[in-house]
Amino acid sequence: MKPVKVLCIGGSDSSCGAGIQADLKAVSACGCYGLSVITAVTAQNTFGVQDILEITPEFVGRQMDAVLNDIGADAVKTGMLLTAGIVNAVAGKIREYHIEKLVVDPVMLAKGGRNLMLAKARQALVKKLLPLAMVITPNIPEAEKLAGIEIKSVGAMKKAACLIRKLGVQNVLIKGGHLENSKQKEVVDILFNGEIYQEYSSPRIDLRESHGTGCTYASALAANLALGKDVATAAKLAKKMVTSAIINSVSLGAGHGSVNALAGKLKK
């Protein structure tokens, strides 16, 4: 039996908490076969990113050719795309191979504050990649940059989702974990398809071990799309998985530990 395949494109995390390593764990936990294209190698631990080695756009393209020419992919998820050249290379191959189920996680900042997407790369993302995407999954800070507004409420999240969708993406899923409200007992995520807003809620879990939440969420979403789920159902299942992954997080090093998607495997 041929497996359902998900290609994850992004940076490598030497602590294995986020990036490609988190992507592959989440995809595996969903019952899919994970493939990878590395866009950057990071020297990273629980305190953050110490250094970044960029992979050339040409070699990123060669990696995509090698995988897609031979194995193919039922869905693609992008994460860290540091430069405009890398964004352009990825977008070109997405068009060339007619990838329809594309999830874009617009990774801009590492948890420790390191910039993971240069300004020109963000411009290229908006112009070249978002019009090809089925879903984009920004957190609050990323949504603020893409929408150009401040987000302090669920209502503002909905406004931002509408503005981001006008950039050309089919569906916008804004994650509410960064919403600054000490009285908020739940984390609310907003999905907007151009007509309907859907809300996904989960209890707020205040833990230091939260490294890799965004990567896990977006990869689980891509995996469920690859399995044939519609966007709303895929988002619901991804939300369940990332919540369970946070509950089952692991303490590593002396900084921020990591979520654990494999411990949080759920039946589809």
Mean pLDDT of the chain: 91
Residue 155 lies in a domain: yes
Residue 259 lies in a domain: no
Q: 225: domain CATH number?
A: 3.40.1190.20
* pLDDT tens-digit series, residues 99-127: 999 999 998 876 666 677 888 999 999 99
**Where does the pLDDT of residue 130 fall: very low under 50, low under 70, confident under 90, or very high at 90 and above?**
very high
Residue 262 lies in a domain: no
> In 3D, which of 76, 48, 15 has the Cα closest to residue 223?
76
Give the number of C-alpha atoms closer than 13 A to the C-alpha of residue 172, restricted to the C-beta side: 30
Q: Which two tokens stand for residue 86?
A: 């890398």
Residue 69 lies in a domain: yes
* pLDDT tens-digit series, residues 138-164: 999 999 999 999 999 999 999 999 999
pLDDT, position 267: 39
Residue 174 lies in a domain: yes
Report the domain count for the chain.
1
Measured in degrees and rounded to the nearest 5, phi and psi for residue 167 equal -80, -10
> In 3D, which of 143, 145, 261 has the Cα closest to residue 212?
261
Q: What is the largest CA-CA distance in the chain?
A: 51
Cα dihedral 43, 49, 52, 55 in deg (nearest 10): 90
Task: List the domain range (segments joined by +) for residue 214.
Answer: 5-247
Q: Which residue has the tokens 């469920």?
A: 224
> In 3D, which of 245, 219, 262, 214 has the Cα closest to residue 6?
219
Residue 253 lies in a domain: no
Residue 266 lies in a domain: no
Residue 167 lies in a domain: yes
pLDDT, position 181: 63
* pLDDT tens-digit series, residues 178-228: 787 646 678 899 999 999 999 998 888 777 767 889 999 999 999 999 999
